[in-house]
Structure 1
Amino acid sequence: MMTRRLRQAVLATGLTLAVAIPARADEHWTKLPTAPYTLNNKQDAIAFADALTGWYGNGTGRIYRTDDGGEAWTGIWTKQGTYVRALEFADAQTGFLGNIGPGYFPGVTDRQPLYVSHDGGVHWAAIKPVAGRQITGVCAIDVLKVDGKVLAVRAGGRVGGPAGMLESFDEGRSFRARDMSGVTGMILDIHFVDADTGFIAGASEAEEDKAHARILKTADGGKSWRAVFDSDRAGDNNWKLAFPSARVGYATIISYQAPQAEARGYVVKTEDGGEHWRRLTVSHDSDWIPYGIAFLDEERGFVGGSTGGYATSDGGKTWAKEDMGLSVNKIRFVPRANGGITAFAIGKDIYKLDLPAKGR
């Protein structure tokens, strides 16, 4: 089953999409030519408006753009002291940039958590909320589109706390700020399945050594939130979410205080719309830390990690190593004009995987 958001993207471009799952021997992730990145172990943010037009950003405060599907990238914006943690584009012109804010990573001095661009990422203007107290930083942005129309834009953060969210219900023209510290200590990812149902990935406390990984759910469009998952071990946080359908979802859990003989992370899965979650073991490698996760359908997906990625074709029952780069933090599926899908994975580098259309 195709995700609702991917289906909407396909409908918006007038494409017909039927993805086949090719034999593994036919799949090859390709490393793309990008600027060297040495600040830390991973770059966090990548977004595409269509099969050709995309952007990525990193902790050096730089934004790069491609107009040929990732084969070439051009630096189009930079701001010293900004840490680009999240990127989302509503279309080829309008985009949103999340900055993690000062106090977590060294050298980050920019106090503006969210920016908007109306010219394809060339210029960015700081967003100031019309109501509520400005939040500290952003780790995740969710742009909810239905039938091609932007219904809501939400930006939340951050790792290490405090938990806050910026919300817009007028296509990003104005935002209001919300203090979310009453329901979670951190916000690390946001995903809305539809106008009413959404999820937040985070942690119960702002202090990483005390926090339990936490997933929140709303059924009233974000007016109220409740915890539907808390990990059983302190030192955990819930990093990224993936919902291939309204019923089935996955999330990565980082375990900073796992026993030495255990892996430092795992994946959890829901099959009842987020009400209950169960643990899936991806790897027993004690050096492996999971980050980004994405699923093509309820069975087929990828998870990125510090020492490499993994793939499953049976809903997480089994996992195989996947050569998709190191420390992949974000995985994007982008429909192509020929009916196939291209997957992009950003971490230390950017990798690309072309999946053919059905019958090819």
Structure 2
Amino acid sequence: MTVGVCGVALAAALTAPAQAQGPDQEAALESARESSQGPSGGKPPHWELKDSGTDVRFRGLAAVSRNTAWLAGSKGTVLRTADGGRTWRNVSPPGAAELEFRDIEAFDSRRAVVLAIGEGEASRVFRTEDGGATWTESFRNTDAKAFYDCLTFFDRRHGLAMSDPVDGKFRILSTSDGGRSWEVLPSVGMPAAQEGEAGFAASGQCLVASGPRDVWLATGGAARARVLHSSDRGLTWTVTDTPIPAGDPARGVFALAFRDRTHGIAVGGDYRADQASPQAAATSRDGGRTWTTAATPPPAYRSGVTWLPHSRTSALAVGPTGTDLTTNGGRTWHTVDTGSYDTVDCTSDQACWASGEKGRVARLER
């Protein structure tokens, strides 16, 4: 089950250096055209499904390299591959079958941190240092009003997790030792939440970081879909409205991707299958202070988004009805695959992975 993802445009995005100029750029594009046909004039880059051996839904994905990726999903399931998806090892934490894992962040093939969502003690964080052979529960929420949605890391030591509003403000959890211990940050620097505002634990991308200190938080479910930004690792925040439709518990910004501290993409919409999702994507060129609606947005709700490796202009967005590609920084999108995926992630060695319902996981093949 493989579907062509792009042809020349995506191949160029994956292979041409972002800084190429003039004749060098032309040579890179020509090389991309040749490589897009494969070694024997075969298929262009495409999603190739990998057999995960399970039917759980994987909304959590951490792509480490072309060979190594981690999945986190329902029924307390964590899988890891070290051979490009040919085989998957079940490395789920013992006794976690009742938990819903929705986000996972991996530092390499052995160290990872996974987040379980839910009210009260259902929200937990686990950490492994041996490829999932053993796990340590490093955080268990004891506040019945908190519901954690996403986590992110700035580096191997510093990271944050976010909860839906508690007492009128989003709650931020912080670690400075790679997820071994966590503390709740003061809420004094957090703007007040709107009535009904929350994060969406749909793809592990409602909280994302870029660089050593910048982090963004996506919201929905209220009158306006907003993005919050912190430049001091979560101590103080600013907030901006986005043009992505809101006004309903099922609508808002579901995922963010920043390729640096300035250029960002937001995707979302209405997750209900029978509802339209106009204006399902927006872009920012000033670190999230302002957002502009995509001129040609994805045609439906999208829950995950990622910049393509080493590209300043190309990104992928995924959702239950397909994958969309932009090659101009998010201004216009076109559908390149109709398979169902919840989240997507790319790595520095030019590998992209996607995962979703019914055990679906795929790697971009070239």
Query: Do the two structures share a fold, i.e. TM-score over 0.5?
Result: yes
CA offset at residue 257 of structure 1?
8.7
2:279, 2:297 → 1: CA distance?
Answer: 8
1:275 to 272, 284, 289: 289
What whole-Å deviation, never above 9, does each CA across 1:148-171 have from its counterpart, x for those lacking one?
xx2411122359998432201233
CA offset at residue 88 of structure 1?
0.5
SS across alignment from 2:351? strand
CA contact (8 A) 1:101 1:137 kept: yes
1:67, 1:135 → 2: CA distance?
Answer: 39
Match in the other structure for 2:23: none
- Which amino acid in 1 is paired with 2:320? S
Query: Is structure 2 residue 92 aligned with structure 1 residue 92?
Result: no
2:68, 2:298 → 1: CA distance?
Answer: 38
Match in the other structure for 1:347: 356
Match in the other structure for 1:142: 152
Structure 1: 5+ residue runs without aligned partners? 1-16, 104-109, 356-360
Match in the other structure for 1:358: none
Query: Is structure 2 residue 190 aligned with structure 1 residue 176?
Result: no
1:301, 1:61 → 2: CA distance?
Answer: 30
Match in the other structure for 1:157: 163
Query: Is structure 2 residue 92 aligned with structure 1 residue 77?
Result: yes
Match in the other structure for 2:333: 319
- Which amino acid in 2 is paired with 1:144? F
Structure 2 vs 1, CA of residues 34 and 289 (structure 1 numbering), >3 Å: closer, same or farther? Answer: same
> Superposition pairs for residues 1-360 of structure 1, below 5 Å?
18=17, 22-23=32-33, 26-37=44-55, 42-77=57-92, 79-102=96-119, 111-128=122-139, 136-145=146-155, 150-158=156-164, 163-178=170-185, 183-184=192-193, 185-188=197-200, 189-203=206-220, 208=221, 210-231=222-243, 233-235=246-248, 236-255=251-270, 262-263=276-277, 266-280=280-294, 282=296, 285=299, 288-296=300-308, 297-323=311-337, 325-326=339-340, 328-336=341-349, 341-348=350-357, 349-354=360-365
Query: TM-score, structure 1 length as denominator?
Result: 0.76
1:138, 1:198 → 2: CA distance?
Answer: 16
Q: Which moved more, 1:79-88 or 1:51-60?
A: 51-60
Structure 2 vs 1, CA of residues 81 and 242 (structure 1 numbering), >3 Å: closer, same or farther? Answer: same
CA offset at residue 90 of structure 1?
2.2
Structure 2 vs 1, CA of residues 220 and 324 (structure 1 numbering), >3 Å: closer, same or farther? Answer: same
CA offset at residue 293 of structure 1?
0.5
CA offset at residue 69 of structure 1?
1.6
Structure 2 vs 1, CA of residues 270 and 293 (structure 1 numbering), >3 Å: closer, same or farther? Answer: same
1:179, 1:186 → 2: CA distance?
Answer: 19
SS across alignment from 1:173? coil
Counting matched residue pairs gives: 313
Structure 2 vs 1, CA of residues 113 and 183 (structure 1 numbering), >3 Å: closer, same or farther? Answer: farther
CA contact (8 A) 2:298 2:334 kept: no
The alignment yields a C-alpha RMSD, in angstroms, of 3.3
Structure 2: 5+ residue runs without aligned partners? 1-15, 19-27, 38-43, 201-205
2:270, 2:118 → 1: CA distance?
Answer: 24
1:191, 1:283 → 2: CA distance?
Answer: 21
SS across alignment from 1:93? coil
> Hey, which of these two has a bigger chunk of helix by percent?
2
1:220, 1:58 → 2: CA distance?
Answer: 31
SS across alignment from 2:127? strand
Query: TM-score, structure 2 length as denominator?
Result: 0.75
CA offset at residue 190 of structure 1?
1.5
1:239, 1:284 → 2: CA distance?
Answer: 14
CA offset at residue 35 of structure 1?
2.4
- Which amino acid in 1 is paired with 2:127? V
CA offset at residue 212 of structure 1?
2.6
Structure 2 vs 1, CA of residues 128 and 283 (structure 1 numbering), >3 Å: closer, same or farther? Answer: closer
- Which amino acid in 2 is paired with 1:310? D
